[in-house]
Chain A
């Protein structure tokens, strides 16, 4: 069995940041900001439980959120081959560490089962605003 923590490097966001530092930054911002738009943005905190349960969910979540939100993953609807291509792309082009066979299979299992090709995709495609389904 895979221990979930073996893939978990995401919770870092929860760790407290020194308050002094935060205040300092905000102060600096106000000093040289052009109006409202100049401030930075804190992504909302995602957690594995926000996404459909399934074998491999937590490992997939932690493996795929080192660089970007899981929402980017959950937006997709891909075949197993499409997911494989995506993982290869992350490794080849975006600095993702290569996965060993077991981790790879586990991630693919979850992705394939949870986010298969479907139309319309997650939130995309055209949806009838009056439809009750």
Chain B
């Protein structure tokens, strides 16, 4: 069922594609082989069904992309989100839009690796399969997940593994996230651990492998667009959840609904959207996004910009500590004579908690402690506030840095360069002008 729903878009597109391919085929022989054609047909088609109704306003024919950030036009999403790419659709939330204690769904960042599936026609019938190193293979509908297991709602940070990547120098390959590949929502669902217990893990169970209904960008239905997994210990963490609710509403399609994983504290790619299957393996998973430099960091630090050796890389598990100033916004102006600024922000630290947040108005020469709230539950972010004095009118930068519960602080720069730019958690800064 899940599979069918996921493929629907592709079937549709194939119809559309046949005509289109025929009409433009003239020019492109010789470049792609036959298999390429089929794949491209499917890809092209996928973008078509709603072209009459939902073309973003900014995309009037022939208009060059505007300079500066491109804002998202997507039904139900906040237009302040900044588009990093439209195919696949990837959009980040500017820090100043992360000012709510709970990130509203409309402000939550979007990361896709493949094509966005059509919304499920019958969400309750969406099925997930648990198989592999288990005593009982399970096939469970969303309806059954809701009725058979203990339901919980938790506020937890979801963060893209590449968050902060744009601060690397030289640039690292991938979407150039600033700090906006993160948000903190209320997730409703069940503990993955409860389902795994029902399936009965064999002693050989070591690692999960997640599969989903979104098509690979090339349109090849046999190729997962992303298939990551986690060590079985993390899968058994009671906060690792199969969820169907986000902020009290059914999980929207664009956020992986009807059913996704939330593996808090670890790169968002482990939190598979449009979840259809979890295969339990007796060894580390080697699916799309698990190998070479994907979601991995260097073991022996490498010279920035050099070619990495995959043997020197390990999987990035817990995300590093990060803090943001969510108010004021970067670029805010204050009237002459303003002597004091009230600051608000958020901080989180992967599997850990945040011990302290400091702010500076003089590029780090002096630091002031911020007031820090307690997390609502494990993996929640912590909100902070601070009041800083300004000695005069003029241009100021405000810097923030957080320290995690093990005493590790955010660095001034994204360090430990790696080819795909993971683990970049440089201090956040904003500029303000007084007078």
Partner-B contacts on A (CB < 8 A): 5-9, 11-13, 15, 17-19, 21-22, 25-26, 28-29, 32-47, 49-50, 62-63, 66-69, 71-72, 75-79, 81-82, 85-86, 93-97, 103, 117-126, 128-130
Q: Which of A25, A37, A81, A103 meets B76, CB within 8 Å?
A: A37
Known: A36-B76, A40-B118, A124-B167. A71 touches B31 (CB 8 A): no
Contacts of B35 in A (CB 8 A): 97
Residue B378 lies at the interface, judged by CB distance under 8 Å to chain A? no
B-side interface size class: 35 or more
* Contact of A123 with B69 in the complex, beta carbons under 8 Å: yes
A25 to B119, CA, bound (A): 11
Known: A38-B253, A124-B178. A26 touches B50 (CB 8 A): yes
* Contact of B50 with A15 in the complex, beta carbons under 8 Å: no
* Contact of B31 with A34 in the complex, beta carbons under 8 Å: no
Give the shortest distance, in Å, between B56 (CB) and chain A (any CB). 5
A19 to B55, CA, bound (A): 15
A6 to B166, CA, bound (A): 34
**Is chain A's interface secondary structure helix, strand, loop, or mixed overall?**
loop
* Contact of A71 with B330 in the complex, beta carbons under 8 Å: no
User: Chain A interface: which of B84-92, B195-203, B315-323, B352-360?
Assistant: B84-92
Residue B152 lies at the interface, judged by CB distance under 8 Å to chain A? no
Contacts of B116 in A (CB 8 A): 40-41
Give the shortest distance, in Å, between A126 (CB) and chain B (any CB). 6
A49 to B254, CA, bound (A): 30
* Contact of B173 with A82 in the complex, beta carbons under 8 Å: yes
Known: A32-B119, A97-B36, A123-B176. A77 touches B171 (CB 8 A): yes
* Contact of B49 with A25 in the complex, beta carbons under 8 Å: yes
* Contact of A12 with B51 in the complex, beta carbons under 8 Å: no
Known: A63-B31, A66-B36. A122 touches B176 (CB 8 A): yes
Contacts of B249 in A (CB 8 A): 34-35
* Contact of A44 with B58 in the complex, beta carbons under 8 Å: yes
* Contact of B307 with A34 in the complex, beta carbons under 8 Å: no
Interface centre among A45, A85, A119 (most CB of B within 10 A): A45
* Contact of B24 with A11 in the complex, beta carbons under 8 Å: yes
Give the shortest distance, in Å, between B83 (CB) and chain A (any CB). 8
* Contact of A129 with B24 in the complex, beta carbons under 8 Å: no
* Contact of A95 with B218 in the complex, beta carbons under 8 Å: yes
Q: Could you pull out 29 A-B pairs where Cβ atoms are within 8 angstroms?
A: A6-B30, A9-B27, A9-B28, A9-B36, A9-B40, A12-B41, A21-B15, A22-B52, A34-B250, A36-B76, A37-B252, A37-B253, A37-B255, A38-B119, A41-B254, A42-B54, A44-B58, A72-B84, A75-B175, A77-B170, A85-B419, A94-B216, A94-B218, A97-B35, A117-B171, A117-B305, A119-B171, A124-B165, A130-B431
Residue B364 lies at the interface, judged by CB distance under 8 Å to chain A? no
* Contact of B105 with A37 in the complex, beta carbons under 8 Å: yes
Contacts of A117 in B (CB 8 A): 170-171, 305
A38 to B284, CA, bound (A): 35
A67 to B121, CA, bound (A): 26
Contacts of A37 in B (CB 8 A): 75-77, 105, 252-255
A45 to B64, CA, bound (A): 10
> What are the 8 tightest A-B residue pairs by CB atom distance, in nearest-first order?
A124-B166, A44-B59, A129-B331, A5-B27, A36-B76, A124-B176, A37-B252, A43-B86
Contacts of B252 in A (CB 8 A): 34, 37-38
A7 to B21, CA, bound (A): 14
* Contact of A67 with B431 in the complex, beta carbons under 8 Å: no
Contacts of B21 in A (CB 8 A): 12
Contacts of A19 in B (CB 8 A): 52
Contacts of B223 in A (CB 8 A): 95
Residue B407 lies at the interface, judged by CB distance under 8 Å to chain A? no
Contacts of B39 in A (CB 8 A): 66, 95
Give the shortest distance, in Å, between A99 (CB) and chain B (any CB). 8
Contacts of B85 in A (CB 8 A): 68-69, 71-72, 75
Q: Which of A8, A26, A94 meets B27, CB within 8 Å?
A: A8
